[in-house]
Structure 1
Amino acid sequence: MNYTTKDIQKRVDEYISQFKEGYFSPLSLQARLTEEVGELAREVNHRYGEKPKKSSEKEKALEEELGDVIFVLTCFANSLDIDLSEAFEQSMSKIETRDKNRWTRKEGENTNEG
């Protein structure tokens, strides 16, 4: 299934809205996001780094960890009434301008100029 950011935000909001507690506070969501990014980092380190898993540790898919990050990030955005598409557009616009000549381009790649 393919979701737009609007679809993701709506689905998360429909899920969270069924509970009286609603969204956690921004500080709690930041802590949860940090926790989820840490779990992603741990999984990446186990797969690609020098720290193999203990035999007693369960294998987790990177997709699962990335999904957890997306869920909490979406909760964060929704709780603050931030449109993820707009946030992404602002970020890409900044990056495409600031870093347009930072990296070595592949031959024949458009420079997005003019």
Structure 2
Amino acid sequence: MNTAYTTKEIQARVDAYISQFKEGYFSPLSMLARMTEEVGELAREVNHTYGEKPKKASEDANTIEDELGDIIFVMTCFANSLNIDLSEAFEKSMTKFETRDKDRWTKKTQEDLHND
């Protein structure tokens, strides 16, 4: 599966899915709880993959990719429920990082870039 989606397409697809249910989007507080649950599941997968805690034989074979996908879904639900355009939110965030943190870390030299 090699599909690329724009944020607008992601938001539209999630909205089409959620719109078919009478319950619709959860409240912001419930969305935050869902997001926290999903981030916890991601942490668990990272710990199983890169940490010292192996999975039990009885545990599902989730992957970091699966958990990141779940986070994208819940984040999109959260944004949609509050009428937030994820592209605009991302642009604001990147502008903040590119200005505030532009000199925070050691930049790669031309040689570093060539060796990558």
TM-score range, shorter chain: over 0.9
2:92 to 82, 90, 94: 90
- Number of aligned residue pairs: give it: 109
Following superposition, the deviation at residue 61 of structure 1 comes to 1.5
Gaps of 5+ in 1: 110-114
| Separation of aligned partners in 2, 1:6 and 1:40 | 25
Residues 8-55 of structure 1: CA deviation (Å, up to 9, x unaligned)? 000000000111111000000000000001000100011001111112
TM normalised by structure 2 equals 0.91
TM normalised by structure 1 equals 0.92
More helix by share: 2
Q: Identity of aligned pairs, percent? A: 76
One-letter amino acid of the structure 2 residue matched with residue 5 of structure 1: T
Following superposition, the deviation at residue 59 of structure 1 comes to 1.6
Query: RMSD of the alignment, in Å?
Result: 1.1
Alignment of 1:2-81 (within 5 A): 2-81=4-83
SS in 2 for 1:51: coil
| Separation of aligned partners in 1, 2:107 and 2:98 | 13
Following superposition, the deviation at residue 58 of structure 1 comes to 1.9
Q: Which runs of 4+ in 1 moved over 6 A?
A: none
Equivalence for 2:105: 103
| Separation of aligned partners in 2, 1:67 and 1:58 | 16
| Separation of aligned partners in 2, 1:58 and 1:27 | 28
| Separation of aligned partners in 2, 1:55 and 1:14 | 37
